[in-house]
Chains A and B, each alone.
Chain A
């Protein structure tokens, strides 16, 4: 069976500091990978998705970036965090041919 991991679970960072969130998937190969942000009362916002190593599509222009250095690893980064970057960050995966997505446990980021 497949499992998805995210870390850290919670993070408190000052404004202007860098960010690196990591997501890994086990039990499958060549998954599609996704980064979402969930703000209270605003639903899920797709930030980035990747269909393969080194292939990143950005959905929302912002000071975040994503990378996929390995088949089952997806990283969300920022060089300088803003207060508005606070939120609940979710990684998800799906089979290349599938429709449904499976979510990780999330990282709660607070920028102070």
Chain B
């Protein structure tokens, strides 16, 4: 079993939809959680970073962490074609650690 599970998609939604992207993990030591967006043939871009349970909002993006269920989500409101990309979740133990554990990414396509 992988430490981090992420549905690879592809996930196709119409413009304006609310998108929900999810990861589950098995290691209860993970305390820091990140979401990255990666456009084709580009490096991952950090979208959200959180280290506590609950919600964190930044513009159209909301990151949600449920440590009791070992489940994290990224919600995108009013999705745009420019949101079409692969979304990677990542996590690490307390103190950051030098090893991030990544999901394999979910490919999202937002259609006009």
Q: Which residues in A have some Cβ–Cβ distance to B below 8 Å?
A: 6, 32, 34, 41-44, 46, 49, 51, 57, 59, 88, 90, 94, 97-106, 108
Kindly state whether residue B1 has any CB partner on chain A within 8 Å: no
A97 pairs with B8, CB closer than 8 A? no
Q: Which residues of B contact A (CB under 8 A)?
A: 8, 32, 34, 36, 41-46, 49, 51, 88, 90, 92, 95-100, 102-105
Tell me the dominant secondary structure on chain B's binding face. loop
Nearest A residue (CB) for B43: A103
Q: Which of A6, A42, A98, A100 gathers most chain B CB within 10 Å?
A: A100
Contact B104 A41 (CB under 8 A): yes
B96: A residues at CB distance < 8 A: 94, 97-100
Interface on chain A toward B: helix, strand, loop, or mixed SS? strand
Assembled-state Cα–Cα distance A94/B99 (Å) = 11
Closest 9 CB pairs of A and B: A99-B96, A99-B32, A103-B43, A43-B104, A100-B49, A44-B102, A106-B43, A103-B44, A105-B43
The answer for the CA separation of A34 and B88 in the assembled complex, in Å, is: 17
Question: CA of A51 to CA of B46 in the docked complex: distance in angstroms?
Answer: 21
Interface pair A102/B42, CB less than 8 Å apart: no
B96 and chain A: residue at smallest CB distance: A99
Residue of B nearest to A32 (CB): B98
Q: Which A-chain residue is minimally distant from B94 (CB atoms)?
A: A99
B41 vs chain A, min Cβ distance (A): 7
Q: How far, in Å, is B36 (CB) from chain A's closest CB? A: 8
Residues of chain B contacted by A88 (CB below 8 angstroms): 41
Residue pairs across A and B with Cβ atoms less than 8 A apart, 12 shown, are A43-B88, A44-B88, A46-B99, A57-B98, A94-B96, A99-B49, A99-B96, A101-B34, A101-B46, A105-B42, A106-B43, A108-B41
